[in-house]
Structure 1
Amino acid sequence: MKVLVTGATGFLGYHVVKRFLKEGYIVTAIGRKNEEKLNGLGAEFKRIDITESLEELDKDYDVIIHSAALSKPSGRYEDFYKANVTGTKNIIDFAKENRNLKRFIHISTPSIYTGSQERINISESTPITKKFLNHYAKTKYLGEKEVELSSLPYIILRPRAIFGEYDTSIVPSLVNAAKKGFLPMINNGRCLVDVTYVENVVQSIHLAVNSKDEYIGECYNVNNDEALELREVLKMLFEVLKISPKYIKLPYRIMFEAGRVIEWVSEKLNVDSTINRYTVTVLSKSQTLDISKIKEQLNYKPLFTIKEGLNKYAAWYLKEEK
């Protein structure tokens, strides 16, 4: 089967390409960046921005895995819209021209659920908040709507907080803060968090690609199936990395309002900031996913525990650091 992977030079996309090549698929990988990580894997790489023309691509793919997205804490709304909505519209239009297309796998995010209140065991049928905490969540929601309105044989996946080798977002931000000698801690880190090792996300994608036709049009939450307190996850992470951070206790309400101000400033100046209402909420409020649907319908089961994933990440990180 011929597979097209968007966002292949990104964190998740790279792991998807690697897994599907291993499974014997013929993979075409596209992305905006260079292809250094993809060299030697065996995929055909094309440097393409999906917000622009896709004319360079053939139109005979059996599967399209759409993982390309602009994912960062802050930035201009128009940039997020272009990447996450316009880019999705373009890949949908392209997908419709592939006569033999069997699956269109759209990688979305549970950030669309995130509000400022605690929520436990959020299911796919839970009403989506209309007060999104950042532009990423809002535009990913709009991207989902475009997929749902299409006539494609789609399946939508919403993986929570992906970490693993080549991660450039979640874990590196925590490690960098810890290495500077301090790490902000809101509500003593007692909130429950879902995190997902990247290979488990790839497993869910593989299951979706090979699912029964009766599950076309479905949406699934994905996580590691083990909700832990944030402080427990951080303890495991820093133990395997041999880092001893100092924690600074901060009040939630002050940080939330500060995040609102920092968001406004960062958007006006078009600069990135890791402090915003979304990150403050994630680091202080328990918000977990119910994944019973994907377990029952697609027989999903995590291949690695959080601890095993952190150990694999740490081995890679320490090697890269040297």
Structure 2
Amino acid sequence: MRVLVTGATGFLGGVVARQLAASGHEVWGVGRDAVRGQALERDGVRFVPLELRGGTGLAQLIAEADAVVHSAARSTLWGRWADFYADNVEVSAAVARACAGAGVRLVHISTPSVYNATGHTRNIPESLSVGPRFDSLYARSKYLAELEVQAIYPEATLLRPRGIYGSGDTSILPRLARALRAGRLPRLDDPELHGGGEVHTELTHVRNVSHAIALALTRPAPGLYNITDGVTIPIWATLDRLADALDVPRPTRQANPRTLEAVARVLEAVYALHPRRPEPPLTASGVRLLTRGMTLDLTRARERLGYVPVVHPDQGLEEAIGAVAHA
């Protein structure tokens, strides 16, 4: 099968492209980073330098493929709405339109961040109604992208993987490691929010996401699917484990999450006034990620995709923490 992977020079896209190539598929990886593109070429992926936003040539590439994995996205908690809309909504619509026109299978990568503002945190099914309010511009843009993809190409498979991590991650664990090394991560204990100070959540190892994508490429499975490791983890115990691996003090300075979230909203308002809109040192979404756990219902993925995680978080976190500690 000839598979086109967008965002192939990113974390998830790179893993997906390499694993598909290793399993015998002919893989074309689309991205902007020429250095990472060369690394992809060495691993058996044909690199195609292409600007998806407003670029040309995408439809022709898709027409020559058997399937597309659309993992490219503006994935950040901060930025301008115009950029989120262009990169996440408009590009996703263009990809879906090209796939529908060519009859090419599409696996679109979305996010369970769309659930964040619903007030639901446990065993969330894909059928949960979301919107019109979202807790970040990113979540809003990804939801609108889902609507576009489903309207244009009802046969598309849309995956919502929760908190992607693993060796090569540049976001979750590296960001937390920097905060721990700088000694600026407080312990956000608030028994009213999560019962006793610990927060239990689910994450998804990047190889589990790649596995779910491979399953979606081999069978007709239109619709939305939650994807996680299928096992809850304690956030603060995991942060203590990361601090130990980094040989830095565990966070002990207490802070009230509600107060910190209010401070973050003020910072966001101030930084939004700057002409360049730099990212503030603290965001409300970032605080909520550490204080409000989330677990997802995987029934649909298990029954329709045959999804069973291939990496357990015990193994995955040990690998990922080791990679960050030795970076």
Q: Same fold (TM over 0.5)?
A: yes
Q: Following the alignment from structure 2 to structure 1, what is the Cα–Cα distance between the partners of residues 319 and 291?
A: 27
Relative to 1, partners in 2 of residues 1:34 and 1:268: Cα closer, same or farther, differing over 3 Å?
Answer: farther
Give the 5 Å matches for 1:148-297: 148-151=150-153, 153-187=155-189, 189-211=197-219, 213=220, 215-216=221-222, 218-269=223-274, 270-273=277-280, 275-297=282-304
Q: Following the alignment from structure 2 to structure 1, what is the Cα–Cα distance between the partners of residues 13 and 124?
A: 26
For each residue in 1:68-110, what CA deviation from the matched residue of structure 2 results, as whole angstroms up to 9, or x when unmatched? Answer: 00011111111111110111122123223424x1x20000000
Q: Following the alignment from structure 2 to structure 1, what is the Cα–Cα distance between the partners of residues 214 and 188?
A: 37
Cα deviation for residue 190 of structure 1 reads: 1.2
For each residue in 1:29-71, what CA deviation from the matched residue of structure 2 results, as whole angstroms up to 9, or x when unmatched? Answer: 0112224242401111111111122326432211100000001
User: Which secondary structure state, in structure 2, belongs to the residue aligned with residue 289 of structure 1?
Assistant: coil
Instruction: Report the TM-score when normalising by structure 1.
Output: 0.91
Q: Following the alignment from structure 2 to structure 1, what is the Cα–Cα distance between the partners of residues 281 and 138?
A: 13
Relative to 1, partners in 2 of residues 1:18 and 1:284: Cα closer, same or farther, differing over 3 Å?
Answer: same
Query: Which residue pairs with 1:79 in the alignment?
Result: 83
Give the 5 Å matches for 1:23-38: 23-36=23-36, 37-38=39-40
Structure with bigger strand share is: 1
Query: Which residue pairs with 1:105 in the alignment?
Result: 107
| Aligned residue type for 2:227 | V
Structure 2 spans left out of the alignment, 5+ residues:
191-196
Query: Which residue pairs with 2:307 in the alignment?
Result: 300
Structure 1 spans left out of the alignment, 5+ residues:
none
Percent of paired sites with the same residue: 31
CA contact (8 A) 2:187 2:251 kept: no
Moved more, 263-272 or 164-173: 263-272
| Aligned residue type for 1:77 | W
Cα deviation for residue 144 of structure 1 reads: 0.3
Q: Following the alignment from structure 2 to structure 1, what is the Cα–Cα distance between the partners of residues 85 and 271?
A: 17
Cα deviation for residue 181 of structure 1 reads: 2.5
| Aligned residue type for 2:163 | A
Q: Following the alignment from structure 1 to structure 2, what is the Cα–Cα distance between the partners of residues 54 and 40?
A: 26
Cα deviation for residue 242 of structure 1 reads: 4.3
